[in-house]
């Protein structure tokens, strides 16, 4: 759920009226990296996560970095 909220938040910032940033296929920035997480680790309950925020583990999708030819990343 946190990953989906992050996905939609990213797109609301870069394409709030559905006429701003998207690629030639109509994918917005978060769509280009949907369901990709980069390096993950296993938490104590067996779930996978890729970041620790406020002492809690989260599995948040990567986002499109529109630089250097473009790539998916957790940070820029």
Site string for Zn ion, 30-69 (x = CB under 5 A): xx--------------------------------------
Total residues contacting Zn ion (rule CB under 5 A)? 3
Beta carbons within 8 Å of 59's beta carbon, 6+ residues apart: 2, 3, 37, 40, 47, 48, 49, 50, 51
14 vs 43, beta carbon nearer Zn ion: 14
Establish how many alpha carbons lie within 13 A of residue 1's alpha carbon, considering only the half-sphere containing its beta carbon: 0
* Interacting residues toward Zn ion by CB under 5 A: 11, 30-31
């Amino acid at each position: 759920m946190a990953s989906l909220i992050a996905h939609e938040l990213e797109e609301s910032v870069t394409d709030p009226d559905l006429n701003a940033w998207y690629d030639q296929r109509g994918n917005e920035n978060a769509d280009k990296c949907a369901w990709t997480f980069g390096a993950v680790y296993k938490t104590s309950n067996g779930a996978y996560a890729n970041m620790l925020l406020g002492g809690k583990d989260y599995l948040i999708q990567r986002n499109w970095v529109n630089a250097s030819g473009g790539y998916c990343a957790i940070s820029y």
